[in-house]
Amino acid sequence: MQGMRKSGQGVQAGPGSVLASVQYLRAIAAWLVVFFHLTASMANATGIPAVFTVGAIGVDIFFVLSGFLMAMIVDRSHETGMTFLMRRFIRIAPLYYVMTFAVFAVALMAPWLLNSVRADVQHLVMSLAFLPHDDGTGGNQPILSLGWTLNYEMFFYVLVVIFAGLFRDRSLVSLAAFLVVLAFGGTLIHEPGTAVRFYTDPIILEFGFGIMLYRIVFRERQAQASEGIWWIALAASVMLIAASHDITQDKWRFLSWGIPATLLVAGGIHSFTRQVEWLKRLGDWSYSTYLVHIYLIQFAVKLVLPHAPSWAAHPFAAALILFPLIALASWFIHTRFELPVMAWGNARLKGWQRGAAARA
């Protein structure tokens, strides 16, 4: 598939500043989710009301960012569809697989440490395949609980390849339109199964928000926009987030949190241009942060908190202790596992590409 065409247009600020801004936004999104899970876990353990349910919007920010980035890649890259998918697989799968097997082992040997993980082979296979399925509790979470978002990501990447190949110049708009059709179609199906309910959830529209943000605003019209507009968008997104309530299971989440998330991405990509090295590093580590934090929090809540002084039960006190540990673990996993594995995988991919070119 040669449908990922190159364009001379694109984000006016240049790819370097855009990618730096993306890393800042990834850091913000990941740590919003961390604080959300910390306060929710502390609330379950102590009865203290959760104080930061809005932190779950970090997931929505990730989805909008994915739509934006994939739209930019489709617009600028000559990669084949297989190469694109392999690069995404190399980036996402290794750490996810290692942690999935680790959690599966814990579920077999010490299930009381986990909230609700079904340790059977079918659940494991479906989790490794990034496919939604009944988890035995009425939900569709894979073994690694946060993997439900990766199931959406992998589904979206496959759609990107299909639509980039089928529609070429119109792939971005056609894919966004298809997401609308999926979400609307889901409302017409009576008692949908697990997979249909998952893939037609309106949250998939947030990928479309990211696509259209790139195409309509950054690709076509950014030269006409002043910096002040993006600061207003950023401020508006923060105000909307602050005014939100707990709607993690709400069918209108794609609007109530999707719109503020889109505004934050729009304002952030344009405005976060100053080099902030520590924030960029947090963005670099954000995938490790996202996958590992919930288990560090659960370890602290279930094994440490019962023996800790009473002041440690306050979410902000717990954050002062746990956040540095989560950041340290994220750095270690990123530098000692993610980077070497990605380097190895991308080297193998280049070798495969050279071999394919020689055989052509």
Find the radius of gyration of the CA atoms of the chain: 21
Asked if the structure places residue 201 within a domain, the reply is yes
Q: Tell which residue, 268, 248, 221, 225, has the closest CA to residue 64.
A: 268
Whole-number pLDDT of residue 7:
46
Asked if the structure places residue 171 within a domain, the reply is yes
**What is the mean pLDDT of the segment spanning 192-206?**
92
More confident of the two residues 252 and 297? 297
**What is the mean pLDDT of the segment spanning 174-194?**
90
Tokens standing for residue 282 = 């947090």
Asked if the structure places residue 1 within a domain, the reply is no
Per-residue burial over 45-67, b = 16 or more CB atoms within 10 Å of its CB, e = otherwise = beeeebbbbbbbbbbbbbbbbbb
| Contacting residues for 202 by C-beta, under 8 A, at least 6 apart | 183, 186, 251, 252, 253, 254
More confident of the two residues 348 and 52? 348
Residue 218 pLDDT level (bands cut at 50, 70, 90): confident
Asked if the structure places residue 8 within a domain, the reply is no
> What residue type is 316 in one-letter code?
F
Tokens 């790819």 sit at which residue?
15
Asked if the structure places residue 297 within a domain, the reply is yes
Does the pLDDT of residue 315 top 70, yes or no? yes
- Mean pLDDT lowest among 11-20, 73-82, 114-123, 336-345: 11-20
Does the pLDDT of residue 10 top 80, yes or no? no
Vertex 72 angle, CA 5 and 204, to 5°:
115
| DSSP one-letter string for 63-130 | HHHHHHHHHHHHHH----HHHHHHHHHHHHHHHHHHHHHHHHHHHHH-GGGSSS----HHHHHHHHTT
CB atoms within 10 A of CB 324: 10
Does the pLDDT of residue 32 top 80, yes or no? yes
Whole-number pLDDT of residue 227:
64
Torsion, Cα 91 106 147 81, to 10 degrees, reads 40
Residue 336 pLDDT level (bands cut at 50, 70, 90): very high
Does the pLDDT of residue 204 top 80, yes or no? yes
More confident of the two residues 8 and 193? 193
C-alpha distances (whole Å) from 91 to each of 118, 256, 287, 331, 334 are: 26, 30, 9, 16, 11
Q: Tell which residue, 113, 118, 106, 208, has the closest CA to residue 156.
A: 208
Per DSSP, which regions of 176-298 are E strands? none
Does the pLDDT of residue 223 top 90, yes or no? no
Asked if the structure places residue 3 within a domain, the reply is no
Long-range contacts of 222-228 (CB under 8 A, 24+ apart): 222/11, 222/12, 222/13, 222/270, 223/12, 225/270, 227/270, 227/271
Whole-number pLDDT of residue 81:
80
| CA dihedral (77, 274, 265, 158) positive or negative | positive
The pLDDT tens digits for 268-296 are 888 777 889 999 999 999 999 999 999 99
What CA–CA distance (Å, rounded) separates 6 from 10?
Answer: 10
Percent of the chain with pLDDT over 90: 47
More confident of the two residues 357 and 33? 33
Overall number of domains in the chain: 1
Residue 2 three-state SS: coil
Asked if the structure places residue 65 within a domain, the reply is yes
The pLDDT tens digits for 88-145 are 999 999 999 999 999 999 988 888 777 767 778 998 999 999 999 887 776 788 999 8
Whole-number pLDDT of residue 323:
96
| Contacting residues for 63 by C-beta, under 8 A, at least 6 apart | 149, 152, 203, 206, 207, 210, 258, 261
What CA–CA distance (Å, rounded) separates 251 from 256?
Answer: 9
Domain limits at 288? 15-359
Asked if the structure places residue 9 within a domain, the reply is no
**What is the mean pLDDT of the segment spanning 47-53?**
76
> Average per-residue pLDDT in the chain?
85
Does the pLDDT of residue 8 top 50, yes or no? no
The pLDDT tens digits for 239-265 are 677 666 666 667 788 988 899 899 889
